[in-house]
Structure formats: structure tokens, C-alpha cells
Chains A and B, each alone.
Chain A
Amino acid sequence: MDNRPSTASGRFAGEGLPRWRRLRSLLESTRKKGPRALRYEAREFVRLYRSASADLASARSRRLAPDIVEYLNALVGEAHARIYDLPPLKRGAVGHWILNEVPARVAKAWPFVLVAAILFLSSWTLSFAAVSAKPATAAALMDRGTLASFDKMYSDPAFMKATGSEAAAEGSAAAVTWYIRNNVTVSFLSFALGAFFGLGSLVVVLVNGLSMGAIVGYVSASGHGRSIWTFMAAHSVFELAGLVLSAAAGLLLGWTLFRGGRAGRAAALKERTDDILALVTADVILTVGAAFIEGLFSPRRIGLDARLAVAFACLLLELGYFVVLPLRLRRRSKSLTAGGQAVQK
């Protein structure tokens, strides 16, 4: 008999090690060369992964030595991470997401969009009315410095003239990206604060409504209403819709967290993740669109009519994307299921 003593753990490890080493070397090669390294050994890899996990289960239930259990646990964990890696993006996935999923899911989440819109519009109207009636109220909602700068901006003939000049048009590429960076960051914040059971988004949308209403009210009360309305007309349709959608995404997130579900919060969230992300995607699309209009079109010397035409076109695009497209998609999927039933009969 061999002089070297062996325990049950030792025999188990001696028997299994060749397989485990092979699995480990396959793991190493995928780590170096990526998943393509397993083109010919995929079946072997999966077989080894299964057998290692069976070994792990049996080592644990037989209470074998901790070094074996740890080793197998780590090996199975590594192999699992490799097998359950991020799947490659399907061709056309982005297009499908933007043209089918986003409009359908935003339309599905209409109650949240409606609540966010009502919150924004009512707070806007409230502060606009209050400030128009009594301009001093604006000081309670915004700091004086900001108000003064708006006042100066819209009363300054140089500003309104500059918006029409070539110089402003030249600077507009930078303006576009500045608006994108600024406004998308604000809308990400407005969405993410929804993680606090929706309260953060609620606060952001109310504060936005109040301060925007106050600014417009203040500038109007100082007699430059026409300038600010003219400047805002074209880009505000996209910008405000984006703001409302980001708040709606935050409210949906907060509501899902708050309400939970029969299978728990995590499961409820998993179910609505795509709806939330669709709202955020739509918000980004609108906010970027608004930034282009605000940076390239709004500063030019263009009459109110043309601006209103752009605003109207934006509104039509929004209606088409969020109302008409989802309705058509639904009709198509209904007729598809009906067709399926007919075939089954």
C-alpha cells in the first residue's frame, strides 16, 4: 500500500482535478482571446461546467475539505460569469428599440406622463400668474441675480439683435452641445431622484415648473413678453416634453419601488425596467432635438410665424411618435395574433 495517506477529500480532489484543470485552462483561454477561443470546445466547456457544479454540490453535501469547496465554488463562479456573459447585441436591436419599443412603452405609461405634465403645467401656471400679478413674488422663487440677468437679456436690444447676427449663428455648434450637456444632465437627475420613491422627481418637476413660470412671468411683467415668447416658441415643445418624460420615468420608478408587487420589489422593478428606460430614451431624444433647435434655430433673426410653424411641426412629430405609432403597432400585433388564431383553427 502507498505510504501516502489519503482522505475522502484527497481522493475526491485527485479524481476530479484533471477535469477541473481542463475547465480552468479553457477559462484562461477565453479570458485571453475572448469567447471565440471556445469555438470548437463549447460543448466540452459546458459539460465541464456542469460536472464541476455537480462536484461542488457533492463536495458541499459530503462536507469535504474547505479548500475543495472553495476551489470548486470559485471555478463554477468563473465559468458561470463566462456562460452568462452579456449577449452580443442583435442586428437592428437599436432601431427596433427606438421605432417600436419606445413609443409603445411610453404610450403604455401614459398615466405617469399625464401626472408629470399636470404637475409641471399647474406649477408653471401658478407661479406665472403669481409673478405676473405681482412681480415682487418672483424674488421668493428665484434669486435676484438670476432675475436681473434675464431682465437684462431680454430688454437688451443688443441681445435680440445679436440673436440674428452671423456671429451668434457661428457660435451655435457649441451652443447645441452646451444645451445637450446641460439639459440631458438635468433630466437624468430628475429621473434618478425618482429612486427615492418618486419624491425627488416630484420636487424637480415642481421646482422647474415654478422657476420657469416665474421667469416668463417676470420678463413679461417687465414688458419684454414678446421677446421671451418668441425666443422660446420653437424649442420649448421638445424641451418641455423631455422634461415631463424624465419626471414621468422617475415617478414610474418611484411608484414601482413604493408599490412593490406580489413577487416583491425586485420582480416588480424587473417587469417595468424596459418601460422606465423607454421613457428615459424618449426624454433624451427630445432633449437633444430641443438642443439643436435652441442652438441653431432659436437665436436666428426669424419671425414669430416661422417659429410657431417649427413648434407646430414638433408637436405633430410628438403626436405621431407617441400616439399614432403606438396605435398602429398595436393594431398590427392584434391582426398578427388574429391571423395566428385563424391558422390554428
Chain B
Amino acid sequence: MKRDRFLVESPERIQFWRESAESGARAASFFVDTILQGLIVVIVVLISGGLSAFAKGFSQAGTAFLIILLFLVQWGYGFFFEVLLSGRSPGKLLFRLRVVRLDGESLDLRSLALRNLLRAADGLPFMALPLLGGFVSMADPLSRRIGDLVAGTVVVKDARQVLAEPATDLGALAPYGSAAIVCTPGNSLGEEELYIIRRFLSSRGSMPPPRARATAELLAAKAAKRLGIEAPAAGADPVAFLEGVYRGQSS
């Protein structure tokens, strides 16, 4: 298993893997969030500037409002959106990332509050340029910043991005229609090996012919060795051979 994967065990003992987000994706989503924060402030400043032109006496209350807005946007943005969008700020949403808890339990307000408060520690030397958090996240195998480490959270890739349906079988095998190559019952290929052959047989049309041929020869040699049979001769078609092996191994 890859190093940036970690096993989640939910409270009802269901186990599965999650993949943590890369530091690069996190930096990109941070960048988007920072720009959005800036935009929110700019838009409000423009609107209130327009209002103050009409309403006299607005300026004092307006200044107070702007200062508090700046504060809320700086400190509340992450928490607000992660609560609203269940663990995703707009930047994370864009890059299909989400915050989850490492222990597999429900996301909760306290973890989100803690990880967002600790932005102050990650945000050294400046909140807009969180070098410390960046370095920590690059050093951590799961790309966690200090806030994540303390709050017990991880930013993971949304599982939705890898949902490609598995093959039920190899559709139409055959320009060849080759006969099954039957071997002695003791020798057989595992499901993962059959998967590799199936992947090759179904995608070889999109490979450049010389490369497809080279791959087929390689796979045929390996399969033959594994099954203890003779590999196809130099002139023979390795694809037909692989197809025969696949047919012989399946039922």
C-alpha cells in the first residue's frame, strides 16, 4: 500500500483505506481560500463605500463593521465553511478534499474549532504565508499541519474521484476467439494477475502497436513461466496466447 494511505476503522469495525491529500493540493486549496477571503473583504468594502456615500453618519459604524468583518473573515472563514460543508472549505471543495477524523469517528465541532484556532501556529511567520504549517505538512506522511496533528484530523481526497466501476468480465474478447489454454489444475494465475491481463487485453487498442506488442510479449513470458508451459514462439502472436491463457483460467 502507498505510504500516504491510512487505515480507517469506523466505530462498527468497518475497515477501509483513505488517501491523504498531497501538500501541493493543500497549498493550492489554501491559495484559493485566501483569494476568496480577500474577495469577500473587497466586495464588502465596495458595498459599504457605496452606502457611506448616501448615508451620512455611516462612517463610524461602517468602520467598526469593517474591522469586525476583517476579524471574522480571518479567523472564522475556515471554521464556518468546514462546519457548513461538512469538512470542506470552498478551496477544498474545488480540489475535492475534505477534513476527516483520523480515528474514523464523526467529524465534530471541537476538532474543527481546534484545527482552525491552531492556524495561528501554522501561520508563522505570517497568516497569509504559513511557512511553518507548510513545512510540517511536507514532513508528515499524511500531509498534516500542526492544527491537524493536534486536532486528530486529516485532509483526505474525496473518495468520489476514484469511483470508476470495476469490470464484471472481459466483454468481447475476440478478434481471435482463441481456444482456451488449459493447464494442470495446480498451476493457476491469481485474480490480480488475471486483472493485469484483462487490463491489457481491453486497453491494447489504445496503445501504440510496437508498445502493445512488447507488453504482450512480456506478459506472455511471465504468464507462461508462472503456469509452467511454453511461451509462444518468436513468430507467434503473444496476444492470442494471453487471450487463451485468460480463457483457460476463467470458467
- Interface, chain A (partner B; CB < 8 A): 3-11, 13-14, 17, 21, 24, 50, 53, 56-57, 62-68, 70-71, 73-78, 80-81, 84-87, 89, 170-171, 173-174, 176-178, 180-181, 184-185, 188-189, 191-193, 195-196, 200, 253, 257, 266, 269-270, 273-274, 276-277, 280
Contact = CB atoms under 8 A, between A and B. Distances in A.
Given A78-B160, A192-B118, A84 B104 contact: yes
Given A86-B86, A181-B70, A273-B114, A192 B120 contact: yes
Interface of B: 8, 10, 14-18, 60-61, 63-65, 67-68, 70-71, 74-75, 83, 86-87, 98, 100-114, 117-121, 146, 150-152, 158-160, 162-174, 177, 180, 190-192, 194-195, 198, 246-247, 249-251
B16 A5 contact: no
24 contacts: A4-B170, A5-B173, A6-B250, A10-B167, A11-B169, A13-B168, A17-B168, A65-B194, A74-B160, A74-B162, A76-B14, A81-B159, A84-B105, A86-B86, A87-B108, A173-B61, A177-B71, A180-B67, A180-B71, A181-B70, A184-B75, A185-B120, A189-B120, A192-B117
A74 B71 CA distance: 38
Given A53-B16, A269-B150, A68 B166 contact: yes
B195 A9 contact: yes
A80 B104 CA distance: 8
Contacts of A177: 63-65, 67-68, 71
Contacts of A89: 109
A67 B164 contact: yes
Contacts of A176: 64
A93 B105 CA distance: 20
A278 to B, nearest CB: 10
B166 A67 contact: yes
Contacts of B121: 192-193, 195-196, 200
Nearest to B68: A177
Nearest to A178: B67
Which has the most chain A C-beta neighbours within 10 Å: B64, B65, B83?
B64
A277 B117 CA distance: 10
Nearest to A179: B67
B163 A24 contact: yes
Contacts of A24: 163
A11 B169 CA distance: 7
A193 B166 contact: no
Contacts of B75: 184-185, 188
A77 B191 contact: no
Nearest to A68: B166
B120 A77 contact: no
Nearest to A46: B12
